[in-house]
Amino acid sequence: MTFFLVSSIIKIIVVFTVIMVGVALLTLAERRICAWMQDRLGPNRVGPQGLFQPAADGLKNLLKEETLPAQADKVLFLLAPAMSFVPALLTFAVIPFATPLPTPWGDVDMVVANLPVGFLYILAFGSLGVYGIVLAGWASNNKYSLLGGLRASAQMISYEIAMGMSTVAVLLLAGNVTLSEVVARQAQSIWFVFPLSLAYFIFIVAAFAETNRLPFDLPEAEGELIAGYHTEYSAMKFSMFYIAEYSNMVTASALMTTLFFGGWDIPFTTWDNTPPWTVLKTVATLAAFCLKVSCFLFLYIWVRWTLPRFRYDQLMALGWKVMLPLALGYLTVIATALWILHAVLGWAYDTRFGLALFGLNVLLAIPLFFVLDRGHIVAGSMAGERA
């Protein structure tokens, strides 16, 4: 018991620190990659390659004046940043990020809390984050902030469904909601991105919407809502919304890695996922996990600096008219296919099983992308002229 407590506390401290440092570096990465994409250099003055820029920004935010609008609801206004900040950090707790670490007192699972209901916990806390945004919009007593908050909640509701549906397919295939089991299942055979490619496509679009990143950053929409829900916030409270947004990105990337890209699994070898556990295995799998997460974080940044923002009705149309039916239909097809493969043909889950499902996905993807591409999905600027 003492061992469990001590190891958990150490894990909490380490994971918290790593995420905060990662978030700080992520803000820098975002600014520099954005600059490179625009043929600029980006912040490179503070420290080598601008590495201390996040520290300078943090210091600036601590020293800036805290403003409190006269008509604001003071309690909620102060509570809102914490409400968005805490769930963003809490979600990471159930994500397994390496193989167990052997110590003289026994193996330590490299996950802060190995919850049996890990996946449900993530869905629950992921949606809790929007409370902070809605409360911030409401408490600011500013019409633009309120609009931002309302948009965030509507967006969250619309895309949460598609996201949940797409991940149900993963749970069907894994037969478990514990994330370590999901990873173990993928490590044994083939990553779920192959048998469930379309689920991954739906999940990634929904994850962009859930984290309020472009092209779905309607809640802040500088152009229309002057930064939306955090218009009235300054200094560290404003900064906390930013940290929350970036931690959400990290968590969403970690979730994509865990559910579809084998978590900490190193591909093409079973060396890393068979006992006995060694420190080397822990380090190697941790590196693999970090690499995968950084790829998704880069994808987030890349998409953000490429795409323009959706119009609000386009966002809603995409969520309800495309993502939701797509996810539902896909779930039906996958469940049927699983039943046929399991019960009728009697296959167990292995690489052959995965590849058969991958073939099915390819067959489904061709007509889907044909339909998506041939049009009639997102309303253009002159949609009124439709014949």
Helix (H) or strand (E) holding 295: helix 279-304
Tell the smallest beta-carbon distance from residue 169 to another protein (Å).
22
Helix (H) or strand (E) holding 106: strand 106-108
Nearer to another protein, 202 or 341 (CB): 202
Is the CB of residue 27 less than 8 Å from the CB of residue 246? yes
- Interatomic CA distance for residues 245 and 139, integer angstroms: 19
The answer for residues whose C-beta is within 8 angstroms of residue 299's C-beta and 6 or more apart is none
Is the CB of residue 173 less than 8 Å from the CB of residue 143? no
> Side chain identity at 275, as an amino acid letter?
P
Tell the smallest beta-carbon distance from residue 374 to another protein (Å).
7
Tell the smallest beta-carbon distance from residue 208 to another protein (Å).
12
Tell the smallest beta-carbon distance from residue 109 to another protein (Å).
37
- Interatomic CA distance for residues 189 and 7, integer angstroms: 31
Nearer to another protein, 270 or 306 (CB): 306
User: Which residue is associated with the tokens 């625009």?
Assistant: 38
The answer for residues whose C-beta is within 8 angstroms of residue 240's C-beta and 6 or more apart is 81, 82, 84, 85
Residue 320 DSSP symbol: I
For the chain, give the number of residues. Answer: 387
Nearer to another protein, 348 or 387 (CB): 387
Please calculate the CA angle 8-14-15 and round it to the nearest 5 degrees. Answer: 85
Nearer to another protein, 65 or 374 (CB): 374
Binding site for another protein (CB under 8 A): 33, 36-41, 302-303, 305-307, 369, 372-383, 385-387
Tell the smallest beta-carbon distance from residue 213 to another protein (Å).
14
User: Which residue is associated with the tokens 């609801």?
Assistant: 73
Nearer to another protein, 328 or 379 (CB): 379
Nearer to another protein, 70 or 376 (CB): 376
Nearer to another protein, 279 or 371 (CB): 371
Q: How far is CA 64 from the centre of its chain?
A: 30
Tell the smallest beta-carbon distance from residue 306 to another protein (Å).
5
- Which of 150, 129, 130, 135 lies closest to 76, judged by CA? 135
Q: Residue 14: is it exposed, middle or buried by C-beta count within 10 angstroms (0-12/13-18/19+)?
A: exposed
Nearer to another protein, 137 or 215 (CB): 215
Tell the smallest beta-carbon distance from residue 360 to another protein (Å).
21
Tell the smallest beta-carbon distance from residue 116 to another protein (Å).
39
Q: Residue 329: is it exposed, middle or buried by C-beta count within 10 angstroms (0-12/13-18/19+)?
A: middle
Strand partners, 103: 106
Tell the smallest beta-carbon distance from residue 204 to another protein (Å).
12
Please calculate the CA angle 250-255-259 and round it to the nearest 5 degrees. Answer: 155
Nearer to another protein, 106 or 380 (CB): 380
